[in-house]
Amino acid sequence: MNKTFIYIALLLGWSSCISDSSSRSLADKQASIPQQAFDRHAITNPSKMSAASLRAFQRNYGQDAAWYLEFSYHELKGDLAFEPGVVRRDPSDVITVDEVMYVYYTKSIGMSYGFGTGDPSKKVFPWDKSDIWIAGSTDGTTWVEIGKVINRGETGSFDDRSVFTPQILVHEGRYYLVYQTVKAPYANRVKNQVAMAWSNSPTGPFTKMEEPILSSSDDGVWDGNEDNRYNVKKQGSFDSHKVHDPTLVPYMGKFYLYYKGERMGERLTNAGREIRWGVAIADQIEGPYKKSPYNPITNSGHQVCVWPYNGGVAGLMVGDGPEKNTVQWAQDGINFEIMSYLKNTPEAVGLYQKSSYDGNEVEALGWGLCHEVTSPERQYIKRFEGFKPHIP
C-alpha cells in the first residue's frame, strides 16, 4: 500500500466521521490518525483546527494529491512548428488510427485587424476567415500537415465566414467533427453556432450536416444599434452571445455536447471574464441537442477540456473566473466539484485520446496538444506533458 493510498483512506475516514453522528466521536477519530498526516498541512493541534486547516486536510492541498499534476511544454517539429504569417490554434484531441496520430485545428493566414476598420472583408480575429485542417504524426512531436478537411461554406450559408475550434469523436467507426461557425459579416455583436460533419475516414472527405446543432440563446437584448457587445438592456443566459469550443462526450447512453458560453454585455467576475460552460444532451450523435436546464454548469474556465472518468466526467478549467486552474469532476456530468488546484495549466487542450482514462485520476492529462498565443500573429500549436512532481 503506498503513502498516497493510505493518505486518501485517512481522508475518506475523516469525512465519513463528520456525517456519522452514531460513530465514534470526532476526537476519537482524530486520535486514530497519525500526527504525520496532519504535519503535511502544518496542523500542530488536530483538536483545534481552523476552517482553513480543515479544508487543506480534507481536500489534501498537497503535491501528493491524487488529482494534482504539473505540466511541461515542448515545441512541435515539422509542419506544425511556428510558421510566420500562419495562425494554427485550438487543436482537437489527438486520435490514433492504424498507428498514425491525427489532430484537427483552426488555421488562418495573415494578420487580424479587429473591428472598426470600415472594411468588412478584413480579418477581425486570428480565428476569423479560418478553415479546419488536419495533420498526422507517428510520435506526437513531428507533424505533417495533410490538408483542409472543413471549408468555409458558400456565401449566404451559416458558416460562410469562418469555421474553427474543431473537436473529434470517433463513434461506431465514423469520425465526427464538431466546430464553431460564423456567418458574415463578422461584427462585434455577431452570434455564432456549432456545426457537425462526419466521415468514414479520419482524413475525410467530411459531409457537413445541413443545419447547425447548437445556437446561442435568444434571451438577451442589445441596447442601441452601435456594434458594441457591452451595451445591453438585458444580458440573458450565459450563452446569449456565443457558443464556443464544442466537445462531445458519450455518457450514460447519450451524447453530451459541452461548450463554452459567452454572454451579451459580458461583465467581469472577481477573477476575470465571466465565462462559463454549458452542456446540451442528445439521444443520437447527430442530435437534436437540448441544453441542460442546469446550465451554466461551471462558473469559470475557457476552452472546454472534458473527458470521461470513473463513471463521471472530468474537466480542466483554465483562463477565466474564480475557479480557473482547477481540475474538476462531476459524478453526473453536470455538477462539477473542484478536485485539485493546478498551476501553469495548458490553454486550448486537445487530449491524447485513449479508450479509457480510468488508470488514474489525471491519466487523461498525460500528454496532448495545446496552443501558445504570444501576439495576434504568433499563435501556434505545441505539446504539453503532464507529470506527477517528484516529492522529496
- Asked if residue 120 lies in contact with residue 184, where contact means CB atoms within 8 angstroms, the answer is yes
Residues 264-303 that bind ligand AAL (CB under 6 A): 302-303
320 binds ligand AAL (CB under 6 A): no
Q: Where are the alpha helices (DSSP H) in the chain?
A: 3-19, 26-32, 35-39, 51-59
List all residues 6 or more positions away from 106 whose beta carbon is below 8 Å from its beta carbon. 87, 88, 89, 90, 127, 130, 132, 133, 164, 165, 166
Compute the least distance from the CB of residue 128 to ligand AAL, in Å. Answer: 9
Minimum distance from residue 182 beta carbon to ligand AAL (Å): 10
| Residues touching ligand AAL, count (CB under 6 A) | 11
CB of 348 to ligand AAL, least distance (A): 5
> Which grid coordinates belong to 216?
446561442
Closest by alpha carbon to 96, among 351, 316, 305?
351
∠ CA 367-202-363, rounded to 5°: 20
Cβ atoms < 10 Å from Cβ of 72: 12
Q: How far is the CB of 196 from ligand AAL (least distance, A)?
A: 17
Closest CB to ligand AAL among residues 37, 178: 178
Assign 186 to helix, strand or coil: coil
User: In angstroms, what is the minimal distance from the CB of 142 to ligand AAL?
Assistant: 24
Question: Please, which residue, 94 or 349, has the CB nearer to ligand AAL?
Answer: 349
Residue 377 CB coordination number (10 Å):
14
- Looking at the DSSP bridge assignments, the partners of residue 316 are 327
Give me the least distance between CB of 168 and ligand AAL, in Å please. Answer: 16
Q: Which CB sits closer to ligand AAL, 152 or 302?
A: 302
Among 67, 90, 124, 299, binds ligand AAL (CB under 6 A): 90
Q: Which is nearer to ligand AAL, 247 or 328 (CB)?
A: 247
Q: Does 324 bind ligand AAL (CB under 6 A)?
A: no
Return the residue matching grid coordinates 486550448. Answer: 348
Listed as own residue / partner, the contacts of 14-20 with beta carbons closer than 8 Å and 24 or more positions apart are 14/57, 14/58, 15/58
- Residue 259 has a CB neighbour count (10 Å cut-off) of 26
339 grid coordinates: 478536485
Minimum Å distance from CB 88 to ligand AAL? 12
Site string for ligand AAL, 151-180 (x = CB under 6 A): -------------xx--------------x
Our measurement of the distance from residue 21's CA atom to the centroid of its chain's CA atoms, rounded to an integer in Å, reads 40
Nearer to ligand AAL, 180 or 217 (CB): 180
Between residues 90 and 93, which has the closer beta carbon with respect to ligand AAL?
90
Shortest gap between Cβ of 146 and ligand AAL (angstroms)?
A: 22
- 239 lies in the site for ligand AAL, by CB under 6 A: no
Q: Give the contacts of 28 (CB within 8 A, at least 6 positions apart).
A: none
Q: Of 151, 167, 188, which Cα lies nearest the Cα of 250? A: 167
User: Within 174-233, which residues bind ligand AAL (CB under 6 A)?
Assistant: 180
Question: Are the CB atoms for 105 and 88 separated by under 8 Å?
Answer: yes
Q: How far is the CB of 105 from ligand AAL (least distance, A)?
A: 11
- Do residues 33 and 14 lie in contact, with contact meaning Cβ atoms separated by under 8 Å? yes
Q: Which of 129, 244, 276, 383 binds ligand AAL (CB under 6 A)?
A: 244
Which residues between 328 and 357 bind ligand AAL (CB under 6 A)? 348
**Using CB under 6 A as the criterion, which residues of the chain lie in contact with ligand AAL when the complex forms?**
90, 127, 164-165, 180, 244-245, 260, 302-303, 348
